[in-house]
Structure 1
Amino acid sequence: MMIEWVLAEANVRVPAGREADLIAAYHRLIAQPLPDGLLQTELLRGPDGRWRIQTLWQDRSFLNAMRERPAHGLLHGLHADADFAVFEVVDEWITPQPEDLQ
Structure 2
Amino acid sequence: MINWVLAEVDVRVAAEHEGQLIAAYHRLIALPPPDGLLQTELLRGQDGGWRIQTLWADRLALEAVRASSEGPTAPHLFRDLDADVSFEIFEVVDEWVTPEPESLR
Normalised-by-shorter TM-score class:
over 0.9
Name the residue aligned to 1:89. 92
Offset of 1:15 from its aligned partner?
1.4
Name the residue aligned to 1:55. 54
Offset of 1:74 from its aligned partner?
1.4
Instruction: Name the SS for the 1:18 alignment partner.
Output: helix
State how far apart, in whole Å, the 2-side matches of 1:40 and 1:92 are.
14
- Structure with the higher helix share, 1 or 2: 2
Identity %: 66
Once the two structures are superposed, residues 65-99 of structure 1 have per-residue CA deviations (whole angstroms, 9 ceiling, x without a partner) of 00001261311311111000000000000000124
Aligned-pair Cα RMSD in Å = 1.0
Residue 35 of structure 2 aligns to which amino acid in structure 1? Answer: D
* Paired positions, count: 98
State how far apart, in whole Å, the 1-side matches of 2:65 and 2:14 are.
27
The match for 2:83 among 80, 84, 90 is 80
In structure 1, list runs of 5 or more residues that go unmatched: none
The runs of at least 4 consecutive aligned structure 1 residues that moved more than 2 Å come to none
Instruction: Name the SS for the 1:61 alignment partner.
Output: helix
Residue 79 of structure 1 aligns to which amino acid in structure 2? Answer: D
Question: 1:6 and 2:1 equivalent?
Answer: no
Offset of 1:16 from its aligned partner?
2.1
Residue 3 of structure 1 aligns to which amino acid in structure 2? Answer: I
TM-score, normalised to structure 2, is 0.90
